Every structure is written in C-alpha cells, then in structure tokens.
C-alpha cells in the first residue's frame, strides 16, 4: 500500500483533477448541488493526497522522491534511437514538496470560496480543475517537455476563467474590461512561453542526449552545455518564466488579471500560478544552467529590487482593493526573485518559504476581498468605510493577511522576508547592502499602504449605505481559517518547513560554483 | 515482367465505388438519393478494411507507383478522412445541394487522387493524380451553382489552378529535358552525378515549386485560398483545407525525400523564405477576418508555413557546404505527425462549423456568439480545436508542433523555430477571439442547436483523436516512424 502510494501519488495529483473534469462534464448543469459537492469531494481528495505527499516526504534522504516514470515518446536522431526521450518523469525535492502542499491548500480553499459563483458553476469547475492539474504537473515534472506541457496547460484555462466569470471595472480615469485583462494575461504569458519553448529545445539539442529528462541532462552539464550556451539560454528562461513571476517590466498583466478574475481564480493565480515562474527559474534555470545563472543573477536581483519598490509604490497609488493586492503580490514576488538571485543558502531558502507564505497569504487576501465584493459589489476603498462594525470576522481575517504582508513577526511573511534579507546582505558585498536596504524599504512601504487601506475601509463610522451588510458565513470562515492556520504555523514554527526546503536548496546550490 | 495488380486493389475499389454512386444516381428516385452517402460511407469502410488486410509492399509499372508503409499510412488516412467528410456533408447536401449523386461521386474521386498522390513516385504520375484531385475540386467548389459566391470561387479556382498546373507541367518538362527522366529515384541519381546545375534545370525546379506552392497555398501563391474557401460549400471547404493540403504534402514529401535531398543546399533557402512568408502572412491575415471560413483559410495558410518549415529542414547544410541527412527521419516524422494532427483538428473545427451552419445558415464569426449556451457540445469541440490549432496542450496540435519544432531546431534552424513560435502566438489571438464569441459574448439567438447523431459521433471521435494525439501519441508515432523509414530507404 505504501509502495503504491509512493509510486503513484504524484501521478494522482495530476490525474485526479482531470478525472474531476470528466466527471463534471457528465453531470447535467442544472444539478447545482451535485456539482458543488462533487467538486468539493475532488478537491478534498486531491488536497488530502498533497498533504500526505508532503508529510510522508522524508527530508533526511537525499535526492528526488516519489519517483514515477512512464516512457511517453521516442525521438530518434543523431543521438541514437532516443527511446523514452520524452517520459512522464515525476519526482519531488523539498522545494517541490512545499509547492505541492501550497497548491493543495489553495485548491481546497479556492473551491470552497468559488461555491458562491452563480453562473455556469459546472464549466467554472471544469476549467478550475484543468488549471490545477497543470499547476501540479509543473511542480512534480522532472522532464522539460512535461514541465512545459503542464505550464501551458495551466495558462490555457485562465482566458475563459477570467473572460467569462470575471468582472469589468470602471475607474475615474480608465476602464478595464474583463475581456481585455483576460486577453492581455493569456497573450503575455504565452509570449513568455515562446522563450521557454526555444530555451527547452535549445537545451535538448545542446545536451545531445536524446532526452528531456532534467536529471539526466544535469549529469552532462559540464561536458555538453558550454558556458557560452548557458549565458544565452538563461535570459530566455529567466524572462520566459519570469513573466509569470511578475518580473519587471513584464508584470503589468498580473494586477489587471487579478482585478478582473473571480476570487477563486485570483487565489490560484496569485497563490500558485505566479509561483510557477519562480519555480521554473529554480528548476531549469539554476539546476540545468548553473554557470549561466551565476552570470545573470546580478541582473535578476536588481530587477527584483526594482519590482519590490515599484510594485509597492504602485500599490500605494491604488484605491481598488484588488489592484492594491495585485501590485502588492508583484512586489512580494520581487522578494522571491531577489532571494533566488542571491545564490545564497539563506536567500534561496527564504525565497522558497516566501513563495509558500505569499501563496497562502495572498489567497487569504483574495478570499476576503471576494467576501466583501459579493456583499458590497464594490472594491473601492474610497467608498467602503467602517466595515469592521458590520463584518467583524472578515476584518480580522483581512487584518491577519495585511499584517503577514507587511512582515509582522509571528506570521509567515516575517520569517521568509528575514531569511531573504539576510541572504541579500551576505551575497553581493556592498551592492548587496544597498539592494538589501531597498528590499527593507519595500517592506516599509508595504506597511504604509496596507495599514492605510485597513484604516480607510474597515474603520471609522459606518456609512448608511452599508447598514445592512452581513458578516462572512460559516463556509467562508472555514476556508479562511485553513489559510490563517497555515500562516500562523509557519510564522511560529518555521523550522520543519525550512528543513524540507533545505533538502531541495542544497543540491541546486552545490551545482553553482562559488555559491554560499 | 508482370505487374502485380493486387497492389492497386484499394484504388480499383474506390474507383468502382465512385462509378457505383454515379450510376446509382441515374436510377434511384430523388427521395432515396439521400441514402447515397451511406453507400459511399459503407463502401469506404469496407475498402478500409480490405486495405488494412491485404497490404503488401511493392512497385508497379517499373516504379511509377510505389507501395510502401508511407503509401499505406496515407491511404488509410485518405479513406478515413473521406468517411469523415462524407458523413459530415450529409445534412448540408440534403438541404443545399441539388445533384447529390454527382457530389458524392466526384468527392470519392478526389479521395482516390489523394491515395494515388501518396504512392506516385514519378513526376507525370504525380501530375495526373494532382490533376484528378484538382479537377474534382474545381467542380465541387462551384457545386452550389445558384450561389454567386460559389460560382465566383469556382471560376477563380479553375483559372488559378489551371495556371499552377501549367507551371508544374512546364517545370516537369524542363526537368525531363535536362535530366532525361521523371522518376524520383533516377532524378536523385542524376543530380548526384552532375556537378553544376543547368539553369534550365533550376528553372524547372522553381516552376515545380511554384506550382506546388499554389496547391499548398504558400505565400506568395496564396491569394486564391480565402476567396475559394469562403465561396465553396462548407464540406468542400473542409475537404480543401484538409484533403487537398494533405495530398499535396504527401507528394511534396516524397518528391523531396526521394529525389532532392542531395541538392538540399540549393533549395533550402528558397523553402525557408516561402515558409517565413507563409507563416507571417497567414497568421497576420487571419487577425482581421470576420468570416469564419476566411479565418480558417488564413489559419490553414499559416499551418502550411509550419509544414514548409519542416520541409526546409529535411536536411542540414554543414559548414563546408555538404548536406547532412542524419536527422531527416526525425523531421519527416515531425511533418507527417503535424499534417495528421492538423487534419484531425481542422476537421473538428470545420465539422462543428458545418453543424452550426446547418442550423443557422450563418458563417460569420459574430454568429457564434453565445454558442456555449445553444450547444455546449459544439462549442466544446470548437474551442478544443481552436486551442489545438493554436498549439496548446493537451491537444494534438501542441504535441505535433512541439515535435516538429524540436526536429527543425535539431537541424540548426532554431531561429526559424523561434519565428514559428512567435507566429503561433499571433495565431492564439484570433483563435481566442472565437472562444470569446462562444463563451463570453451573449448571443441574440438563444435557441438550442440540434446536432444530428451522425455529426455528433464524428465530432466525438475527432475530439477523442485530438486528445489522444496530444496525450498519447506513441502508437501513432510508431506507424509514422515506419512510414518515414520507408521514405528514406
């Protein structure tokens, strides 16, 4: 039984959502309750598997775990018959294990939050599960082809999810229709994957092994992947996947997408989808192209610093809740990029922890904003006032997310950001100190816009417009409490999580000469 | 030397079937002519079975026709494609076409032409097969004779088609004049034995490429395609975009692989230029289209650009100017896989458009607004085929595109691949616009669309094929591998 679980659990993470897709297609759309409960069942099962995977992951054993392989397609060529050149190779290290857990949590809570969707619930969940199948696939793939396959699979449903179930908004100076945001998001992300695609093919050809397997290619890095090649391939990958992580100046799709997306999708989008980008830089960029990564990381850390500050300042200027959180997400992903770019053990660990922490926190943010929006039909912080009196629990939840975001000790954001800051200060000498100060300033700006937002929207007298507001219901509180629990757990007891991350960070940094 | 005519059994049977339908048309009453399509379908099914059972390798008429795994793969392809196009045209023909027997009879002749094209291994045989295909299509395109657009497109197609045939013929005569042979394998031998290419020979090849470019609707020979697609009866548009394209590709592939590989350094650049122009113009042209047939016409031009990209990468030119064919099999695999995936996907798109058209009689893109409410099944198939055409997983379009691009990249043409991927990003925009109409926009008409069970089954099969082609391609690839090896040996 345990053996079966070890071999097939990762496959199950990809397959079960797809089974859910087929199952939902077979249910007639008028049975709303059946759809709700079957989608909940599917997410519960998948989340449960992701929990089990995480907790049975043994960080004391070196190497990838839960390995599964299925020879998918041969590619004959100069390298021989290329048997199994493309294989469905699954396996996780510590980093991926944590990301799997994150995806499980966000998927489950996102499903609960999405119950409130009125129109075409069935179609929504079909696309939602397709999206998550792709996300799981990226995190657990050890094959570049399938990495890309699932990467594209997770972009594909976003267009319809935002375009159909999203909301258009009008601001005093401009309007954002959901169609615009959906198209922008899809095209920008697919434009990124153009670069990834080219880079993957280039790595495949250059390694000359006739395989897309990441672990096999890793063994011939020194022979076949020359330094010059790596220096060319890394920027392709870094920008390609970096777009998904909100890399400046390609980040503008992200806030627009957040604003238009329905809450459940925003949660997945900011919670896990943006993490795919950072994960891709680590998994392919740093692992397969260490010398190139080392060459380009100074640029990445500068870009990261820019987006930390730029995102934070942009967030200050916004009044729409989702724009604030959208820009804040971009700014927080900047920390992740900076942490990765330190090439330092502490920085990278912090980056991965920040990915997890930010994923949970931002999911909570969007869940809460969704609760508010469903009741008030606005997200404008200029209009909202005194919500705390009417929606006490919601306010507390938003407060927790906000405090995590600005890095209050005891909550998850603090641990992650602290590790990143220490990594930056130790990595690039004098430059590191300057960049590190930027990062800290970014955190300070975060405090300004978050506290201001809370003060404006939640405190003060209740305007007559909001007299009849009801507080969040049990279902919403249940979803939020899972996220809050996770935030507190990491904030108060980060040690076990850091241990798991270490398992993945070690081998990656050991491939990079001169990394600390 | 006796010829083993049993090799030609499938072709004889298809010819017989076409004549059977044409003559049945003379005798049966008007009402019963609706059943002619089923005669065709059942006939093709039986022929498909016979083809699968009786296949042997061999050559006929001193090598004018070659029967190998490659031929067989395309024979099976054309028989299946023929069945699909017959079934999907059933309802359309019932309500729009007056002369049903002729329609089906001529359609079956074009299936025959496709089968012959994939087996012809000599220029004149290829030319005659190509003419059989073209003549059938000239008639079919103009078949809706009381429709002005159908007439217009018929005339346009005949004139330009005849022009391109003349080019091909002129090219062939030049090649024959210089080399003294029209057989692919002998051309190959002659080309290796001569040092300098005679200008008339080059002229001959250029004319040949131009003529074939017309048939493939490669830029700059593509201008007929959107108009002809728009005017033709819908099932014929589908057949134009799948049948005639695949048939021409099957000929081009054999021509290049069997006779032109050695002088790859001479033609590679020409084909690259054609491919770049075709990818760009096809995909950019599609951006502004309002009619779904025109849009799909431009989209199929774009896809031909990717095929040409594959053709140009059949060989790689080493630094010293010599030609290397080390990776040729991989590229052929890629092209055949791409063509098949394109055919499946395009069929899925067209058959769903036909189903909508049968109900509404409209074919502009805005008429698809709110389709997801009117027929969830049709819009599902259509949106899946759009994603597949755009090259997104899990559909056949993605996997085949990845395979082809990977193969082209392996021939040191990574920049061309990058350009291909960029144009495929452009194509995503207009494919998404159709998805937007169906799922996001609200339509004026909300009456449910009734889909007949035969079309429903066809679409179901195509949808499954699209997903299997993308998610589980290795059985298909094994067949393709055999075909490619047959071609290169």
User: Mean pLDDT of all residues in chain A?
Assistant: 86
Q: Rounded to two decimals, what is the model's pTM? A: 0.92
CB neighbour burial string for B153-169, b if at least 16 within 10 angstroms, e if fewer: bbebbbebbeebbebbb
Element (H, E) at A364: helix A345-376
What is the token pair recorded at B335? 């092209």
What is the token pair recorded at A311? 């995102």
Strand intervals (E) in B39-184: 58-60, 65-67
Please state the three-class secondary structure of B22-49 as a single string.
HHHHHHCCHHHHHHHHHHHHHHHHHHHH
**Res. B385: pLDDT tops 90:** yes
Phi, psi dihedrals of residue A252, rounded to the nearest 5°: -65, -20
Q: Give the per-residue pLDDT at A471.
A: 74
For residue B242, give Cα distances in angstroms to A124, A379, B30, B87, B450: 33, 50, 30, 15, 26
Where along chain A do its domains lie?
A: 2-510
Percent of chain B's residues with pLDDT above 90: 43
**Res. A3: pLDDT tops 70:** yes
Spatial distance between the Cα atoms of A310 and A314, rounded to a whole number of angstroms: 6
What is the token pair recorded at A395? 């306010």
Spatial distance between the Cα atoms of B308 and B302, rounded to a whole number of angstroms: 10
Average pLDDT of B80-100?
88
**SS3 state at B120:** strand
Spatial distance between the Cα atoms of B457 and A338, rounded to a whole number of angstroms: 54
Q: What is the DSSP string of B242-305?
A: IIIHHHHHHHHHHHIIIIIGGGHHHHHHHHHHHHHHHHHHHHHHHTT--BHHHHHHHHHHHHHH
Q: Do residue B425 and residue A187 have CB atoms under 8 angstroms apart?
A: yes
- Phi/psi class of residue A84: alpha, beta or left (left: φ > 0; alpha: ψ in -120 to 50)? left
Q: DSSP code of B98? A: S
Q: Do residue B418 and residue A191 have CB atoms under 8 angstroms apart?
A: no
Q: Do residue A205 and residue B409 have CB atoms under 8 angstroms apart?
A: yes
What's the sign of the alpha-carbon dihedral A69, A73, A76, A79?
negative
Spatial distance between the Cα atoms of A410 and B450, rounded to a whole number of angstroms: 61
Q: Give the per-residue pLDDT at A171.
A: 75
- A104: Cβ–Cβ under 8 A, 6 or more apart, which residues? A46, A47, A48, A49, A50, A51, A54
B170, B154 in Cβ contact below 8 A? no
**Res. A12: pLDDT tops 70:** yes
Chain B contacts in chain A segment 76-135 (CB below 8 A): 76-78, 123
Spatial distance between the Cα atoms of A145 and A128, rounded to a whole number of angstroms: 23
**Res. A189: pLDDT tops 70:** yes
Cβ-Cβ contacts under 8 Å, B383 against chain A: 160
Spatial distance between the Cα atoms of B449 and A51, rounded to a whole number of angstroms: 45
Split at pLDDT 50, 70, 90, the class of B2 is low
Q: What is the DSSP string of A475-490?
A: HHHHHHHHHHHHHHHH
Of B410, B421, B439, the CB nearest to A197: B421
**Residue ranges of the alpha helices (H) in A208-273?**
214-219, 221-224, 227-244, 253-260, 263-268
Spatial distance between the Cα atoms of B362 and B375, rounded to a whole number of angstroms: 15
- Among A323, A377, A328, CA closest to A116: A377
Q: Which residue of A has its CA nearest to B327?
A: A77
Q: Give the per-residue pLDDT at A514.
A: 59
Cβ-Cβ contacts under 8 Å, B434 against chain A: none
Cβ-Cβ contacts under 8 Å, A150 against chain B: 393
Chain B contacts in chain A segment 389-428 (CB below 8 A): none
B407, B312 in Cβ contact below 8 A? no
Q: What is the pLDDT of residues A115-133, one digit of tens each?
A: 888 888 888 888 899 999 9
* ∠ CA B114-B117-B122, rounded to 5°: 170
Q: Do residue A179 and residue B327 have CB atoms under 8 angstroms apart?
A: no
**Res. A143: pLDDT tops 60:** yes
Cβ-Cβ contacts under 8 Å, A148 against chain B: 402
Q: Give the per-residue pLDDT at B311.
A: 92
Average pLDDT of B198-218?
90
End-to-end CA distance of chain B: 24
CB neighbour burial string for B2-32, b if at least 16 within 10 angstroms, e if fewer: eeeeebbebbebbeebbebbbebbeebeeee
Of B327, B394, B428, the CB nearest to A190: B428
A434 at B interface, C-beta within 8 A: no
Q: Give the per-residue pLDDT at B279.
A: 92
A150 at B interface, C-beta within 8 A: yes
- Interface probe with A: pick from B328, B384, B425, B431, most Cβ of A within 10 Å: B425
* ∠ CA B225-B228-B233, rounded to 5°: 135
**Res. A472: pLDDT tops 80:** no
Percent of chain A's residues with pLDDT above 70: 99
End-to-end CA distance of chain A: 41
Q: What is the pLDDT of residues B432-474, one digit of tens each?
A: 888 888 888 887 777 888 888 889 999 999 999 999 988 888 8
Q: Give the per-residue pLDDT at B388.
A: 92
Of B326, B435, B481, the CB nearest to A159: B435
Q: Give the per-residue pLDDT at A229.
A: 87
B238, B350 in Cβ contact below 8 A? yes
Spatial distance between the Cα atoms of B315 and B320, rounded to a whole number of angstroms: 14
A141, A200 in Cβ contact below 8 A? no
Q: Which residue has tokens 């329609």?
A: B103
Q: What is the pLDDT of residues A285-315, one digit of tens each?
A: 888 888 888 888 888 888 888 888 998 998 8
Q: Give the per-residue pLDDT at B322.
A: 81
- Phi/psi class of residue B63: alpha, beta or left (left: φ > 0; alpha: ψ in -120 to 50)? left
**Res. B77: pLDDT tops 90:** yes
Spatial distance between the Cα atoms of B42 and B24, rounded to a whole number of angstroms: 15
Measured in angstroms, the CA of B380 and the nearest CA of chain A are apart by 10
A313, A328 in Cβ contact below 8 A? no
Split at pLDDT 50, 70, 90, the class of B58 is confident
Q: Do residue A75 and residue B429 have CB atoms under 8 angstroms apart?
A: no
Of B383, B403, B414, the CB nearest to A198: B414
- Out of A288-292, A460-464, A501-505, B401-405, which region has the weakest mean confidence (pLDDT)? A460-464
Please state the three-class secondary structure of B157-169 as a single string.
HHHHHHHHHHHHH
**Res. A211: pLDDT tops 70:** yes
Split at pLDDT 50, 70, 90, the class of A515 is low
Q: Give the per-residue pLDDT at A81.
A: 80
Element (H, E) at A66: strand A65-68
Split at pLDDT 50, 70, 90, the class of A513 is low
Q: Do residue A78 and residue B393 have CB atoms under 8 angstroms apart?
A: no
Phi, psi dihedrals of residue A249, rounded to the nearest 5°: -100, 30
Where along chain B do its domains lie?
A: 5-488
> Looking at per-residue confidence, does A251 or B45 come out higher?
B45
Of A29, A73, A160, the CB nearest to B474: A73
Of A78, A150, A164, the CB nearest to B440: A164
CA B84 to the chain's CA centroid: 14
A11 at B interface, C-beta within 8 A: no
Find the chain B residues whose C-beta atoms sit closer than 8 A to any C-beta of A: 326-327, 329-330, 333, 372, 376, 383, 387, 392-394, 398-399, 402-403, 405-407, 409-410, 414, 417-418, 421-422, 425, 428-429, 432, 435-436, 439-440, 473-474, 477, 481
Q: Do you know the residue count of chain A? A: 516
What's the sign of the alpha-carbon dihedral A364, A369, A374, A375?
positive
């Amino acid at each position: 039984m345990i053996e079966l679980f070890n071999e097939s659990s990762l496959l199950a993470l990809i397959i079960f959502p797809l089974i859910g897709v087929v199952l939902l297609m077979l249910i007639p759309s008028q049975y709303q309750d059946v759809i709700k409960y079957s989608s909940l069942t599917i997410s519960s099962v998948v989340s449960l598997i992701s929990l089990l995977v995480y907790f049975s992951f043994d960080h004391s054993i070196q190497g990838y775990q839960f390995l599964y392989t299925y020879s998918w397609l041969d590619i004959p060529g100069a390298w021989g018959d290329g048997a199994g050149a493309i294989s469905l190779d699954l396996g996780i290290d510590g980093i991926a294990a944590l990301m799997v857990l994150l995806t499980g949590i966000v998927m489950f809570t996102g499903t609960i939050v999405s119950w409130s969707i009125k129109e075409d619930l069935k179609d929504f969940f079909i696309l939602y599960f397709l999206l998550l199948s792709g996300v799981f696939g990226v995190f657990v793939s050890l094959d570049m082809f399938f990495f890309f396959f699932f990467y594209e699979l997770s972009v594909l449903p976003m267009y319809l999810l935002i375009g159909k179930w999203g909301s258009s908004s009008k601001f005093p100076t401009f309007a954002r229709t959901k169609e615009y945001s959906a198209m922008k998001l899809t095209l920008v992300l697919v434009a990124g994957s153009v670069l990834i695609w080219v880079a993957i093919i280039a790595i495949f050809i250059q390694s000359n092994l006739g395989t897309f397997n990441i672990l096999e290619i890793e063994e011939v890095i020194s022979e076949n992947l020359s330094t010059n090649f790596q220096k060319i391939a890394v920027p392709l990958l870094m920008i390609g996947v970096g777009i998904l992580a909100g890399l400046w100046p390609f980040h503008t799709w992200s806030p627009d997408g957040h604003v238009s997306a329905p809450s459940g999708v925003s949660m997945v989008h900011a919670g896990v989808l943006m993490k795919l980008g950072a994960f891709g830089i680590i998994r392919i960029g740093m692992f397969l192209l260490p010398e190139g990564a080392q060459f380009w990381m100074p640029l990445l850390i500068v870009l990261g610093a820019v987006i930390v500050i730029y995102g934070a300042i942009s967030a200050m200027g916004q009044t729409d809740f989702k724009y604030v959180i959208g820009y804040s997400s971009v700014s927080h992903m900047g920390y992740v990029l900076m942490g990765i770019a330190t090439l330092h053990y502490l920085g990278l660990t912090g980056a991965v922890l920040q990915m997890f922490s930010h994923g949970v926190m931002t999911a909570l943010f969007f869940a809460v904003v969704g609760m508010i929006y469903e009741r008030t039909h606005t997200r404008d912080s200029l209009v909202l006032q005194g919500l705390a009196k009417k929606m006490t629990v919601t306010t507390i939840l938003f407060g927790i997310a906000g405090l995590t975001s600005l890095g209050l000790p005891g909550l998850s954001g603090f641990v992650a950001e602290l590790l990143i800051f220490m990594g930056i200060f130790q990595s690039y000498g004098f430059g590191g100190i300057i960049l590190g100060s930027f990062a800290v300033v970014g955190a300070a700006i975060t405090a300004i816009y978050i506290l201001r937002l809370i003060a404006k929207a939640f405190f003060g007298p209740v305007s007559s417009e909001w007299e009849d507001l009801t507080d969040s219901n049990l279902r919403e509180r249940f979803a939020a409490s899972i996220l809050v629990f996770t935030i507190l757990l990491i904030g108060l007891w980060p040690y076990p999580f850091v241990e798991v991350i270490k398992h993945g960070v070690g081998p990656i940094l050991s491939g990079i000469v001169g990394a600390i | 030397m006796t010829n083993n005519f049993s090799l030609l059994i499938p072709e004889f049977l298809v010819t017989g079937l076409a004549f059977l339908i044409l003559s049945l048309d003379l005798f049966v009453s008007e009402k019963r002519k609706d059943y002619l399509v089923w005669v065709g379908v059942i006939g093709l099914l039986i022929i498909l079975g016979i083809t699968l059972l009786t296949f042997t390798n061999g050559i006929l008429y001193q090598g004018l026709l070659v029967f190998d795994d490659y031929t067989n793969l395309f024979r099976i392809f054309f028989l299946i494609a023929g069945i699909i196009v017959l079934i999907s045209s059933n309802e359309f023909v019932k309500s729009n076409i007056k002369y049903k027997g002729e329609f089906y009879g001529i359609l079956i002749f074009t299936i025959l032409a496709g089968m012959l094209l994939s087996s012809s291994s000599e220029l004149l045989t290829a030319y005659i097969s190509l003419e059989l295909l073209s003549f059938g299509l000239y008639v079919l395109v103009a078949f809706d004779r009381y429709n002005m657009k159908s007439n217009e497109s018929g005339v346009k197609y005949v004139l330009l088609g005849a022009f391109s045939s003349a080019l091909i013929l002129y090219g062939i005569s030049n090649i024959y004049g210089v080399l003294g042979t029209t057989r692919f394998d002998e051309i190959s031998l002659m080309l290796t034995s001569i040092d300098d290419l005679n200008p008339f020979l080059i002229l001959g090849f250029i004319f040949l490429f131009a003529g074939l470019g017309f048939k493939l609707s490669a830029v700059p020979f593509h201008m007929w395609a959107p108009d002809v697609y728009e005017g033709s009866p819908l099932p014929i548009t589908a057949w134009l975009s799948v049948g005639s394209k695949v048939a021409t590709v099957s000929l081009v592939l054999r021509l290049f692989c069997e006779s032109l590989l050695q002088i790859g350094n001479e033609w590679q650049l020409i084909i690259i230029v054609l491919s770049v122009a075709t990818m760009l113009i096809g995909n950019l042209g599609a951006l502004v289209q309002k009619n779904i047939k025109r849009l799909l016409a431009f989209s199929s031009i774009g896809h031909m650009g990717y095929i040409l990209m594959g053709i140009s990468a059949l060989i790689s030119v080493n630094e010293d100017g010599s030609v290397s064919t080390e990776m040729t099999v991989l590229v052929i695999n890629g092209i055949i896989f791409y063509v098949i995936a394109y055919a499946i996907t395009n069929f899925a798109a067209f058959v769903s458009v036909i189903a909508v058209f049968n109900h509404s009689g409209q074919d502009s893109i805005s008429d698809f607004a709110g389709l997801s409410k009117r027929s969830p099944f049709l819009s599902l198939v259509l949106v899946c085929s759009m994603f597949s055409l755009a090259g997104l997983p899990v559909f056949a379009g993605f996997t085949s595109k990845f395979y082809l691009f990977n193969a082209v990249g392996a021939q040191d043409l990574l920049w061309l691949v990058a350009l291909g991927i960029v144009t495929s990003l452009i194509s995503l925009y207009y494919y998404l616009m159709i998805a937007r109409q169906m799922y996001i926009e609200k339509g004026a008409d909300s009456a449910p669309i009734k889909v007949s069970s035969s079309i429903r089954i066809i679409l179901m099969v195509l949808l499954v094929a699209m997903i299997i082609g993308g998610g589980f391609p290795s059985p298909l690839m094994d067949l393709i591998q055999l075909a490619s090896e047959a071609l290169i040996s």
